[in-house]
Amino acid sequence: MTSTHLEALASENGLERVGARPPFFRYLAATWHRRDFAATLARYRLQASMSENRLGLGWVVLRPILNAALFGTIFGLILPDSTRPDNFVPFLIVGFFIFEYFSSTLSGGARSIVGARSLVRSLTFPRILLPLAVVIRQLVELIPMLIVMIVILIVLGEPITWWWLMLIPVMMLMTVFNTGIALITARLTVHVRDLTQIIPLVSRVVFYTSGIFFDLEKVLADEPTLLTLARLNPVHDFIALVRGYMVSGNPIEPFMWWIAIGASLVTFGFGLVYFWKAEERYGRD
C-alpha cells in the first residue's frame, strides 16, 4: 500500500498527521478549550519572576517610575520650554507607564516560542497559547501599574473626572493591539532567531517616536509630513488618548480613536492568521 493510500485511509478514520495544522476555526476552538493552560502558564511565570527578585511585583511599577525620573531629569533640562508639553511630569508619567505595557508585551511575545522549545517539542497543544500567556501576564501586571499611575496623577494635582473611566476602553483596545503584536513577533523570531537581538532596537525606535517625553505637535510643528507619520504610530495614539482623558491640557483629536481602533483590529486579525499559518513549523525550525 502506497503512502497516498495510507494517508487516505487515515483520513477516512479520523486520523491526522502529528503536528498538522488544523483548520482555522477548529484551531480557535481548540485554543478556547485550552485557555486555562495559557492562564496557568502566565500565573506560574509571574510567580517565578516575583520570586527571583526581592521586590517581586514592585519592579513592574518601579521600572517606569525610574525611567520617568531619569528621562524626565535629562530631557527636562535639554528640551526648550517652547517644546516642553504642558503638565510635564504627569505627561511623562502617563507616557512611560503606558509604553511599558507595549514594550513588555513586544519583548515577551518575541521570546514566547523560541524560549519554550522543549515544551513545544514535547507536548501537543495550540502554540498560540504561548504568546497569549505573555499577553495575560502583562495584563495582570498592568493592573498595579495603572493603580500607581492614578495615585501619582492625583498626588500631582490632576483633577479626578468621569473621563478617567475612559482609561478602561483605551487599555482594552491596546490589549487587542498588543496581542496582535505578540503573535506577529512570536512567529518572526521562530523563522529568524537573530530578530530577538533587534527587538530591543525596535522598541527603542517606537519609544522615541511616540512622544513619551515631548509633545509631537510642538516638536514637529514645522514638519507636517513627519508629524503625519508620527500620528500614524498606534502606540503614540494610545498614549495620547490616555493623556487626553487624564492629564489636563492635552486635547483629544478624533483621528486618535480611528487609528487606535483600526490598528488594533488589523494587527490582531493579521497576527492571528499569520501565526496560525506556521503552526506546523513551531518546534521544527
Dist. CA 128–CA 206, nearest whole Å: 25
Which pTM does this prediction carry? Answer: 0.86
Q: Which long-range contacts (CB under 8 A, 24 or more apart) does 226-232 make?
A: 231/255, 231/256, 231/259, 232/259
> Which residues, including other chains, have CB under 8 Å from residue 152's CB and lie 6 or more apart?
65, 90, 93
Q: Which sequence spans correspond to the domains of the chain? A: 23-281
pLDDT the model gives residue 66: 75
Dist. CA 91–CA 250, nearest whole Å: 9
Give one DSSP letter per residue of 54-76, joined into a string. Answer: SSTTHHHHHHHHHHHHHHHHHHH
Q: Are 19 and 284 in contact (CB under 8 A)?
A: yes
Q: Are 154 and 242 in contact (CB under 8 A)?
A: no
Query: Residue 1 has which C-alpha cell?
Result: 500500500
pLDDT the model gives residue 55: 56
Question: pLDDT truncated to tens, each residue of the chain (285 aa)?
Answer: 454 543 443 344 444 455 567 889 999 999 999 999 899 988 888 777 666 665 556 666 677 777 777 766 666 666 656 566 778 888 888 998 899 999 999 999 998 888 888 788 777 788 999 999 999 999 988 888 898 889 889 988 899 999 999 999 999 999 999 999 999 999 998 888 777 788 888 888 888 888 887 777 777 777 778 878 888 899 999 999 999 999 988 888 888 999 999 999 999 999 999 999 988 888 665
Cα atoms in the Cβ-side hemisphere of radius 13 Å centred on 28? 5
pLDDT the model gives residue 262: 95
pLDDT the model gives residue 48: 75
Answer positive or negative: Cα dihedral of 126, 19, 268, 178: positive
